[in-house]
Amino acid sequence: MAETDQSPPTAPPRGLAAFKNHVLAHKIDVGLWATRVATILFSLGYIIPVFGNPYQSYYKALMANAATSALRLHQRLPQVQFNREFLFQFLLEDSAHYLFYSIIFLYAAPITMVLSPVFLFSILHSASYSLTLLDTLGQNSWWGARMLISFVELQSRNLLRMASFTEIFLMPLVIFLIMSGQTTLVTPFLYYRFLGLRYSSRRNPYCRTMFHELRLVMEQFAYSAKCPGMLKTMIHKVIQVVSNLAPATA
Per-residue pLDDT tens over the stretch 17-35: 877 888 888 899 999 999 9
Would you give the end-to-end CA distance of the chain in angstroms?
64
Percent of the chain topping pLDDT 90: 52
Q: In 115-131, which positions are buried (b, 16+ CB within 10 angstroms) versus exposed (e)? A: bbbbbbbbbbbbbebbb
Cα(35)–Cα(53) distance, integer angstroms: 20
| Angle of CA points 216, 248, 104, to nearest 5° | 90
Q: Check residue 13 and give its pLDDT.
A: 63
| Per-residue model confidence as pLDDT tens digits over 78-90 | 888 888 888 888 8
Spell out the domain ranges in the chain. 16-156
Residue 12 confidence (pLDDT) above 80 = no
Residue 9 confidence (pLDDT) above 60 = no
181 Ramachandran zone, left/alpha/beta (phi>0; psi -120 to 50): left
**DSSP classification of residue 117:** H
Question: What pTM value is reported for the model?
Answer: 0.87
